Amino acid sequence: MALVIQKFGGTSVGTVEKIKNVAKRVVCEKEKGNHVVVVLSAMTGETNKLVSLANEVSETPNEREFDVLVSTGEQVTIALLSMALQEIGCAARSYTASQVKIITDSAHTKARIKEIGSENIKKDLEEGKVVVVAGFQGVDEHGNVTTLGRGGSDTSAVAIAAALKADVCEIFTDVEGVYTTDPNICEKARKLKKISYDEMLEMASLGAKVLQTRSVEFAKKYHVPVHVRSTFSDNEGTLVTKEDREMERVAVSGIAYNKDEAKITIIQVPDKPGVAAKLFGLISESNINVDMIIQNISEDGYTDMTFTVPKGDYKRALELVEKTGVELAAKGVTGDPNISKVSVIGVGMRSHAGIASTVFKTLSQEGINIMMISTSEIKVSCVIESKYTELAVRTLHDAFNLGEGEITEEKS
Amino acid sequence: MALVIQKFGGTSVGTVEKIKNVAKRVVCEKEKGNHVVVVLSAMTGETNKLVSLANEVSETPNEREFDVLVSTGEQVTIALLSMALQEIGCAARSYTASQVKIITDSAHTKARIKEIGSENIKKDLEEGKVVVVAGFQGVDEHGNVTTLGRGGSDTSAVAIAAALKADVCEIFTDVEGVYTTDPNICEKARKLKKISYDEMLEMASLGAKVLQTRSVEFAKKYHVPVHVRSTFSDNEGTLVTKEDREMERVAVSGIAYNKDEAKITIIQVPDKPGVAAKLFGLISESNINVDMIIQNISEDGYTDMTFTVPKGDYKRALELVEKTGVELAAKGVTGDPNISKVSVIGVGMRSHAGIASTVFKTLSQEGINIMMISTSEIKVSCVIESKYTELAVRTLHDAFNLGEGEITEEKS
């Protein structure tokens, strides 16, 4: 008898009809003889509706109260699904985060899970009940309601899977799984059978919006096998799991892209200790996330420094850097919001030479200029002009033959 | 420095604009130098919306999950009001029932409060915060969410006032207070300055829908002064309080009516022990509330028995009584759903003779036939044909001069 965690997102529970379908799906799993814990998001649109209410009251709503407000969305769906399960004869019980004791820190709107009480849930499972848990929410040690940030239900599900030592954490969503790249811009995109945690992290943070990044970090840390699959079909999806030899046979697993960045360059800044610390210290104090940072070698005691920030923070960051540029006696500051980042990802890269040069050659053959390069053990990222994004993704997908055959073979 | 509990109903918090007005009102009270605890209902229509969702899932939704669902409405309003208070510079903190520890029994959808933790609230009040508590909800000793039934927020407010030994519990609503009778059918109806708990209980249970009956019982038991007043004006409302000498000076305080009843008569049933027990036992097992019961003196070993039930249960009750009538060898069963009950209420009745006879004479002068009579120490109720309700109320209101002067004088 296995223990299966099933997480359903907002589109999967968006109407009463859909909730009834989820109930049937859960009962199917139960009838295989497995224990099932379900983790739910709020109905599609519900969280947005609550957020607008908060914004009507205040432009900067108090964060503690914001969490009290938005966490109601999940409380609605867990109650409705538990009713629906009982309606078709399946014993079930709903749990808010406070009832489970999903203890987080007190960082409202972006809390981190510290501990999960599993006693009550285990008792219900042993009695044959399906347990239905509210995702996205937690409580701090003083009993204040917290939330985990957008997409936090994925993290709830994986954390619960870790705490209960579940056999698998199934993430049901409106796509069939994780693809070699975005099927909307590359028709040859193919569903992956397997992907390693590290690859998934790169895919997720680089713009493939299937799983919340933090949930993948959690899964990696606690070795939770995560199965990303569709609510609306019975097809197998993609298993996110620890690296194995099969994965290393293939150099590249996927191509990710992110159009949501902008770049800023500070020109001819004196190359002396403390310059980068001052610049990025100020930016981070303003709560702006810097992604790539490139600094060229120094010429005549001066250097250029380029970095990327989320597009939404571009104007604010530019103003800040212009002010700091004057203080640092830089020659000037330029910026460009029309860029995007294209990344080639694969754990096999470590043992396959020449991936980066293939990337550069492929892009140059299409006349795409590379503005910035950043690499890690398992990825090569290039910043290019935004208008070339789709072309770059398709060309790289072809260059690494991602549309052909299976990337990970069946277990043998 | 007084401790004031302020309860606002659904129409008072029905929109963000109205919530902002409530915030201003609360701040006014705070600025008088008082401690304030606010108790809130859900936004108008919100509870109904949640109930329909539940009914879409199941005709008989699981009651535990029903409570999890409908209690979200109050969680939304407490968060929004706390935000609104902080937005205008007033420190505030929201509390769900589970955070306060409003402990109830486990009777889902109609739970009764057993205990209220006051420690956290007191601490916040001492720190100068306004405390905003979700009405209507509780938790049982296992941490399951419960609700107190329709209108339960009144009871929450009074119970919190009792637990904190508050100086007054203000119930803000969409009427100006408690009237001598329904102003919609009698234009001479006058707002009462004061009314005793017992009179209010009769007014509430007899159809004046200002306060949930249970909240008045609670107030009476713990001597909580309840001030019923309007959210939309600064006028003084009606103080519901313990009986005093002023009240006894006046024979009649108000006229209540209830159109929501139906009567059933079982004709010529053998007058022997156990008949009433069997009949009303069966009815109560079917969860039908019987209000008045009249049994005439026996003739030739047979008697007639008449009683009233809520109109919504009339058909079900009639079928049940017809079946039982056969078993009891009664001659027949008749019923009438077109009745209403008109009641004359006043604690002064105890020391004023002739109230009942004035009632009967007044009704007969208008040609209104009395079908059933029931009296207590402080009320006289008559069942009449439904179509005469308004006429009866107006005539009785005049007969006891309720439209004139003040009923309770200013304290001297």
Among B69, B72, B83, the residue with its CB nearest the CB of A62 is B83
- Strand order across the B332-336 sheet: B293-295, B302-310, B261-270, B332-336
Q: Which residues pair with B342 in a beta bridge?
A: B257, B382
Burial category of B66 from C-beta neighbours within 10 Å (exposed 0-12, middle 13-18, buried 19 and up): buried
- Cβ atoms within 10 Å, residue B108: 19
Which of A65, A84, A99 faces B79 most closely, judged by CB atoms?
A65
pLDDT for the residue numbered A276 = 86
Distance in angstroms (rounded) separating the CA atoms of residues B75 and B83: 12
Cβ–Cβ below 8 Å for B75 and A69: yes
User: What is the ipTM metric for this complex?
Assistant: 0.84
pLDDT band for position A239 (cuts 50, 70, 90): very high
Instruction: Kindly write down the DSSP assignment for every residue of A310-321, as one continuous string.
Output: EGGGHHHHHHHH
Contacts of A121 in chain B (CB under 8 A): none
* Mean pLDDT score of chain B: 92
Hey, what are B112's tokens? 């009764």
Please give the structure tokens belonging to residue B14: 């029905």
Name the percent of chain B lying above pLDDT 90: 76
Interface of A with B in 15-34 (CB under 8 A): 16, 19-20
A54 part of contact set with chain B, CB < 8 Å: yes
3-state secondary structure of A200: helix
Span B6-51, pLDDT tens digits? 999 999 999 999 999 999 999 999 999 999 999 999 999 999 999 9
Task: Provide mean pLDDT across the span B328-338.
Answer: 93
Query: Scanning the structure block, which residue is given the tokens 């109050």?
Result: B74
pLDDT at B245: 84
State the pLDDT confidence band at A412, using cuts at 50, 70 and 90. Answer: very low
Query: Residue A74 is encoded by which pair of tokens?
Result: 């999940």
Q: Mean pLDDT over residues A235-244, rounded? A: 93
Contact residues, chain B, for A75 at CB < 8 Å:
68-69, 71-72, 75
Q: Which residues of B touch A54 (CB under 8 A)?
A: 79-80, 83
What is residue A76's three-state secondary structure?
Answer: helix
Of the candidates A74, A73, A32, the one whose C-alpha atom is nearest the C-alpha of residue A51 is A73
Say whether pLDDT at B68 is over 80: yes
Band of residue B405 on the pLDDT scale cut at 50, 70, 90? low
CA distance, residue B44 to nearest chain A CA (Å): 15
Q: Which CATH superfamily is domain B3-174 in?
A: Acetylglutamate kinase-like (3.40.1160.10)
Contact assignment for A80 to B20 by CB distance below 8 Å: no
* Strand ordering across the sheet containing A194-196: A92-95, A130-134, A35-40, A3-8, A168-173, A226-230, A238-241, A194-196
Distance from CA of A83 to the nearest CA of B (A): 6
DSSP label of B342: E
Q: Count of A–B CB contacts within 8 Å?
A: 106
Band the pLDDT of B410: cuts 50, 70, 90.
very low
Summarised one tens digit per residue, pLDDT across range B201-241 is 998 777 667 888 899 999 999 999 999 999 989 999 999 99
List strand residue ranges (DSSP E) for B120-237, in order: 130-134, 137-139, 145-147, 168-173, 194-196, 226-230
**Own/partner long-range contacts of B147-150 (Cβ < 8 Å, ≥24 apart):** B147/B66, B147/B67, B147/B70, B147/B71, B147/B108, B147/B109, B147/B110, B147/B111, B148/B104, B148/B110, B148/B111, B148/B112, B148/B113, B148/B214, B149/B109, B149/B110, B149/B111, B149/B212, B149/B214, B150/B212
What pLDDT sits at residue A206? 72
Task: Report the alpha-carbon distance of residue A151 to residue A9 in Å, rounded.
Answer: 9
Q: Which two tokens stand for residue A8?
A: 């359903």
Is the pLDDT at A123 greater than 60? The verdict is yes
Q: Given the structure tokens 């859960």, which residue do they identify?
A: A26
Shortest distance, CA A123 to any CA of chain B (angstroms) = 14
Choose among B104, B310, B343, B410: nearest CA to B201: B343
H/E stretch holding A293 reads: strand A293-295
Burial class (CB in 10 A: 0-12, 13-18, 19+), A371: middle
**Is residue A409 scored above 60 in pLDDT?**
no
A401 interfaces chain B, CB cutoff of 8 Å = no
Cβ–Cβ below 8 Å for A79 and B19 = no
The least confident of A9-18, A268-277, B172-181 is: A268-277
Nearest Cβ partner for B143 among A65, A75, A99? A99
Distance, in Å, from the CA atom of A284 to the CA atom of A132, rounded to the nearest integer, reads: 39
Please give the residue of chain A at the shortest CA–CA distance from B93: A65
Give per-residue burial for B241-275: e unless 16+ CB within 10 Å, then b: bebeebbbebbbbbbbbbeebbbbbbebbebeeeb
φ, ψ at B243 (rounded to 5°): -60, 140
Q: For A87, phi and psi rounded to 5 degrees?
A: -60, -30
- Rounded to whole angstroms, the Cα distance separating A318 from B169 reads 55
Q: Which sign does the torsion angle of CA B241, B243, B244, B248 carry?
A: positive
- B246: tokens are 């002023």
CB-CB neighbors (< 8 A) of B40 in chain A = none
Closest-CA distance, B68 to chain A, in angstroms, reads 6
Q: Measured between CA atoms, how close is B30 to chain A, in angstroms?
A: 20
Say what the pLDDT of residue A411 is: 37
Contact B251, B348 (CB under 8 A): yes
Q: How many CA atoms lie within 13 A of B343 on its CB side?
A: 25
C-alpha distances (whole Å) from A165 to each of A2, A5, A31, A134, A290 are 10, 10, 21, 19, 36
Tell me A191's DSSP state: B
pLDDT digits (tens, 9 = 90+) for B162-202: 999 999 999 999 889 999 999 889 999 999 999 999 999 99
CB < 8 Å to B50, chain A: 76
Q: For residue B409, what pLDDT is reported?
A: 39
A131–chain B nearest CA distance, Å? 12
Choose the weakest-confidence range: A122-126, A294-298, A344-348, B60-64: A294-298
Report helix, strand or coil for A172.
strand
pLDDT at position A410, please? Answer: 38
Name the residue among A16, A66, A96 with its Cβ closest to that of B53.
Answer: A16
Q: Which residue of B has its CA nearest to A62?
A: B83
Residue-level pLDDT at B108? 95
Q: What letter represents residue A63's amino acid?
A: E
Of B19, B61, B82, the CB nearest to A83: B61
Check CB contact of B54 with chain A, cutoff 8 Å: yes
B259 touches A: beta carbon within 8 Å: no
Q: Does the pLDDT of residue A81 top 90, yes or no?
A: yes
In this complex, the residue of A50, A82, A96 whose CB is nearest that of residue B62 is: A82
Q: Do B82 and A62 touch (CB under 8 A)?
A: yes
For residue B335, the SS3 value is strand
Mean pLDDT computed over A321-335: 91
pLDDT average, residue stretch A373-391: 94
Q: What is the pLDDT of residue B206?
A: 72
